Structure 1
Amino acid sequence: MHWLGWIRFFEAAARHESFVRAADELHLTHGAVSRQIRQLEETLGVALFERRNRGVFLTEAGRTLFAAATQSMEVLAGAAARIRTQPPGRALVLSCEPTIAMRWLIPRLPRFAVRHPDIPLHLMAAGGPIDFARSGADLALRRNDFAFDPRWHAREVAQERVGPVCRPDASGQAAPVMPVRLHTRTRPSAWERWQRSQAASGTTAFPMQFDGDAWYEHFYLSLQAAAAGLGWAMASQWMVADEIADGRLAAPAGFIADGSAYHLLSPAPFEHDTRRLVLLAWLREEAQATIGASPPVPANA
């Protein structure tokens, strides 16, 4: 097998430090990957992996070759991105977490279309890790609540900001009954994380007392329940900004950064495609406008 083929097998095995996971990525058998690595080692006359009962680990020679292989593949990917001919009018495909797509991004897309009519944008609703090659997405908007693939190019769009929200007529302290605290299984520790963020920032503890808890399968369902008056939900500022602006929801305690952030992810360098840089700048601008349009954290919340 030619060198490029060997390096492809080696890079995947070295990155995962596992022949099994490399085989899964390359859609081959463990034995096929192992044989190709062995042929490469025999050709070089040096061991690239130390094989132990519970895994494989790079030798010093393996680490040297992995560094060179990683750099070479990045150069190749960048060159391909620069020379690839895009069909006229081809849409830029953005994969976005469903709730933030529905509640924040889509209502703002008309402004992007007016400003950049030459960059058609196609949305794909999905969350979590993404396989860019399989999905067909050019970019992905994700919160860093999972480990990003080191091969991705990540640019931060905005810090995540969270706070409790409710229907405006349920925000007073004189409510006849204590409200229910609403949770979502996609962010099960959201309330606890918010409380830790409050404590770390020195913000006074939230005084509201709750009478029980209710769980919802998805984030947007808990927000809909809060708007319907079924309780208080822990919300992302980005996902409730419009409801707060038009009076459908209230955020008596404001919002506070919880330590996570939204990033725009790309399999190719942003600098190799000006459309990616344009979208990144626009997302950052809209995120900043959202912060400015929403209430700050009250001094004595």
Structure 2
Amino acid sequence: MQRVKTPSLNDLRAFEAVARLGTVRAAADEIAVTHGAVSRRIRNLADYIEVQLFESEGRGIRLTSQGEVLAGAVTDAFELIQEALAEIQAPEQAGPILLSCERSVAMRWLMPRLSNFQTQYPEADLHLSVGGGELDFTKDKASIALRRLDFAIDPHYQVDVLMLEKMGPVMTTSMLEAFESGDYIGLGSKTRPEAWRDWLVKHPDVPKPKEVRYFDHHFFMVEGAASGLGVALCPKVIAFDYVQDGRLIDLYGFKEDGTEYGLIYPKSMKMNEFTLALKSWLSQIAAEIDKL
């Protein structure tokens, strides 16, 4: 087969981004060039191969049949390149591990246990950062992330479910009488403002709070409950140690809310022995919560 002359890589990159994202503007934002630069690159590519790649559709554009064929091939090619780069750039020796974890989960569950991992694997160079929701491993420089799985996951990422999310009201024993009479303040988190409403709909037998006050994060909220400020509707993973040592009680237990926590990492990632050990260790300590 006769070898054809390959178009510009920049032109192909712009074309692939528009084909995948659907608009020139979105592609321009992703590859950090101007709207006009993306349009020029697509025109250059179409002129070079002498094929119409897009056609008008209302106020937008869509791929032609020839454009769809090329888009599929270019996307596959870029994915192969990314996988190859990840493989050849992966260090052979055990390097540092950056674990990204949701702030409240890190402070109230992970941090008190990390010394156990460090004792078992003293040579592991483990670092911790906090963050929530969607992430970009290249931008964030993270090796692996622990997240509540309540957002869309990039198809290039692997997700290993760790534990179910379970919610329940927790309080000090001194708050019990006020709670049972409905004369109490509910404590909530601004990260989940509808949590109390949803809980009360599912559990109509629970006395309703006279008002709900919100904290920026769950770790503030659960500390507020331990200080006697009110009754916190709290994830089990965050309230777990408070309940185990008797600082808080959970009259109704913790009920599944339909979400999960999971470990997220690039499918192309080449894990060293300590990253694999961290995955296994996190699975073990997460299993302890589901048992109780």
Q: Contact 1:185–1:218 at 8 Å: present in 2 too?
A: yes
* Structure 1 alignment gaps of length 5 or more: 295-301
Partner of 2:191: 186
Structure 2 Cα separation of the partners of residues 152 and 85 of structure 1: 17
- Indicate the residue corresponding to 1:285 in structure 2: 284
- Structure 1 length as normaliser, TM-score? 0.84
Deviation at residue 3 of structure 1 after TM alignment: 4.5
The alpha-carbon distance between structure 1 residues 117 and 245, as it changes in their structure 2 partners (threshold 3 A), is same
Change (3 A) 1:156 1:34: farther
Q: What CA RMSD, in Å, does the superposition of the two structures yield over aligned residues?
A: 2.6
- Work out whether 1:94 is the aligned partner of 2:99: yes
Change (3 A) 1:174 1:135: closer
- 1:79-103 residue CA offsets vs partner (Å, 9 max, x unmatched): 2222224285521112111111111
2:3 maps to which residue? none
Deviations, residues 169-219 of structure 1 (Å, cap 9, x unaligned): 3235786771111122111111233345xx4xxxx6443232222122222
Q: Which position in structure 1 is the counterpart of 2:158?
A: 153
Q: What is the rounded CA distance, in whole Å, between the counterparts of 1:248 and 1:234 in structure 2?
A: 15
Deviations 1:44-74 (A, max 9, x none): 3333333345433333333333333333333
Aligned to 1:15: 20
For 1:266-281, what aligned pairs fall within 5 Å after superposition?
A: 266-270=265-269, 272-275=270-273, 276-281=275-280
Counterpart of 1:232 in structure 2 is: 231
Give the letter for the 1:278 counterpart.
Answer: A
Partner of 2:33: helix, strand, or coil?
coil
Report the counterpart of residue 142 of structure 1 in structure 2: 147
1:249 alignment partner in structure 2: 248
Question: SS in structure 2 opposite 1:171?
Answer: helix
Identity of aligned residues (%): 36
Structure 2 Cα separation of the partners of residues 192 and 176 of structure 1: 19
In terms of Rg, which structure is larger?
2
CA–CA distance in structure 2, aligned partners of residues 172 and 93 of structure 1? 45
CA separation in 1, counterparts of 2:134 and 2:41? Answer: 28
> How far 1:152 moved relative to its partner?
2.7
**Corresponding pairs, count:** 286
Give yes or no for the alignment of 1:164 onto 2:162. no
Q: What residue number does 1:32 align with?
A: 37
Specify the code of the residue in structure 1 equivalent to 2:216.
Answer: E
Normalised TM-score (structure 2): 0.86
For the Cα contact (< 8 Å) 1:17–1:58, is it kept in 2? no
* C-alpha contact (below 8 Å) 1:89/1:118 kept by paired residues: no
